[in-house]
Chains A and B, each alone.
Chain A
Amino acid sequence: MAGQALFYFLALLTVAGSVAVVALPNPLYSVLSLVAAFLGLAGLYLSLNAQFVAVVQVIVYAGAIMMLFLFVVMLINLGREERLPLRLPIQKLAGTIIGLGIFAGLVNLYVSAPLLTGAKGLFPAARLAEVGSVQAVGKVLVTQYVLPFQAMGVLLFVGIVGAVVLARRRTR
């Protein structure tokens, strides 16, 4: 009962935060709403017994990445957002159709597939409590998913090199 109330609170925080990101006129408030949404998401991970993912969600997304967003908003000192006129007339229609399509896909998934309970797989709840969530994530990450993991490293490295190149071009 308490768990369910907590779920609805966290879900409400996440959804309301996400809606507020697009709805609020002040960009700084949008950033803060996104932080709130990420914290709600971290809470949901916690309730799923994934402590490590929850804490990393807070450290990486809510802590580091959103701080960069905040920096950008503060440094370029955005005022209230200006509404640009839409370029193409069908943009609105196309956006609506794509959005509804994705939503329908999600609903379809929810209705057709059996809900994932976490009872199956390598690390069910009992085993997870035994080995700890850090060990569980680490084990899968460097055995089963080692290739995507390494590819991600290359991707981040390319990103860093790109940032350095762009910054150097600016100063020359």
Chain B
Amino acid sequence: MADLAVMLVKVVAAFGALLLIAAYMTWAERRVLALVQVRVGPNRVGPAGLLQPIADGIKLMFKETVIPAQADKLVFVLAPLVSLVPAMAAIAVVPFGSSVTLFGRQVDLVVADVNVGVLYIFALGGIGVYGVVLGAWASNSKYPLLGGLRSAAQLISYELSLGMSLLGVVLITGSLSLKDIVAAQAGYPFILLQPLGFLLFLVCMLAETNRAPFDLPEAESELTGGFHTEYSSMHFAMYFLAEYCSMITLSAVAATFFLGGWRGPFLPPVVWFLIKVFAFMFFFMWVRATTPRLRYDQLMGFGWKVLLPLAILNVVATAGVLALLG
């Protein structure tokens, strides 16, 4: 019974924090973009515009849901959920701190320590693609369909390199559990052993979350809004939340695999974990503000002819060195 209560508290805390951070990332993103582009950004609602995400949320909730007449209504309504739920659930296997003792109980600061943790994240990523493709198809409109097809092709292509780039760390650790991977980085973070893997992961991370310079699915100058052109109010907001949740999850994965997760001197583990995640989130925004969008054929060529061979090379080299060292 007590175990169940602990579990429930962890689930509510983790997902509450995830949604809160996702909401405030929209504010942070607008402020950072404004900073880079020498503008002011949202600063009217509350001090420094801090209440802006709440105002946006209320606005989106009270907007009318418009469903196109020719749309497949059931799939149209379900698709944003198919996108959001896996994006949120993926955070469950990421440890956000060492175990703490609360009321005489040892509590691990991870929602679920699964022994196939990394694969679990990829499986959910694979399901999340359906949200984009189905939403695009169900809108029954040409721009969303084109955006959705592009998106699916891009996600499938970059998923390979994303998985391969993490394989080096998995080989070194000998475990797929994120908890073990953090434990293995007690001495030094894996970025020192896997610099190529880290760079590959950074690039693939941008592509997996449909962010600039890989944001072709929603290239507004050619596809208006991409797959979510026909979406409005909360359904649109769910797609938006899903994008930010997967950005946070992948940032957390990057921090866990290459920067030692919650490890760090002086400050408490949870604070270190958040600092690392926010650093990656800032990287997302920084790249968006400074790079132009790739062309579609460049995107595909880059993924298959540059990233994937490099990722395979990294895996083979890591395995070779490990075999030599015994």
Determine whether the beta carbon of A51 is less than 8 Å from that of B115. Answer: yes
Q: Determine the chain A residues whose CB is within 8 A of the CB of B21 once the complex forms.
A: none
Note all chain A residues with C-beta closer than 8 A to B156.
64, 67
For residue A71, CB closer than 8 A to chain B, the reply is: yes
**Nearest CB of A to B173, in Å:** 12
Question: Are A134 and B152 in touch, CB under 8 angstroms?
Answer: no
CB distance from A97 to the nearest CB of B (A): 37
With A62-B126, A64-B126 as known contacts, state yes or no: A71 contacts B115, CB within 8 Å. no
Task: List A76-119 residues whose CB lies under 8 Å from chain B.
Answer: none
Min CB distance B318 to A, Å, is 17
B172 within 8 A of A: no
Interface string of B71-97 (1 = CB under 8 A from A): 010010000000000000000000000
Task: Kindly identify which residue among A55, A63, A71, A134 contacts B149, using a CB–CB cutoff of 8 Å.
Answer: A71
Q: Is the pair B126, A74 in contact by a Cβ cutoff of 8 Å?
A: no
Q: Is the CB of B133 within 8 A of A35?
A: no
Contacts of A41 in B (CB 8 A): none
Which of chain A's residues have a CB closer than 8 A to the CB of B149? 71, 74-75
The residue that A51 contacts in the complex, of B75, B116, B125, with Cβ under 8 A, is B116
Residues of B with C-beta under 8 A to A67: 126, 129-130, 133, 152, 156
Cβ-based interface call for A133 (8 A): yes
B123 touches A55 (CB 8 A): yes
Q: Given A63-B126, A64-B156, A134-B176 in contact, is the A74-B119 Cβ separation under 8 Å? A: no
Which partner residue on chain A sits nearest B177 by CB separation?
A132
- A52-B119 in contact (CB<8A): yes
Question: Which are the 3 A-B pairs with shortest beta-carbon distances?
Answer: A63-B126, A58-B123, A55-B119
B: which residues have CB within 8 A of A? 72, 75, 114-116, 119-120, 122-123, 125-127, 129-130, 133-134, 137, 145, 148-149, 152, 156, 175-176
Task: Give 24 pairs: A residue, B residue, CB < 8 Å, sorted on A.
Answer: A28-B72, A28-B75, A28-B137, A51-B115, A52-B116, A52-B119, A55-B119, A55-B120, A56-B119, A59-B119, A59-B123, A59-B126, A63-B125, A64-B156, A67-B126, A67-B129, A67-B130, A67-B152, A67-B156, A70-B134, A74-B149, A75-B149, A132-B115, A133-B116
